[in-house]
Structure 1
Amino acid sequence: MSTDRDLVVDAMEEAQRILTEHFAPGALHHPASTIHRLVMVLDRPDLTAALKRMKARNGLRTV
Structure 2
Amino acid sequence: MCQHKPPCPSAESADREAAQPLARHPEQGWSLLCNGVLLFEDTGELLPDGRIIAPHRPRMVTAA
TM-score (norm 2): 0.24
Bigger proportion of residues as strand: 2
Structure of greater Rg: 1
* Greater helix fraction, Structure 1 or Structure 2: 1
Q: TM-score, normalised by structure 1?
A: 0.25
Bigger relative contact order (CA 8 A; separation at least 6): 1
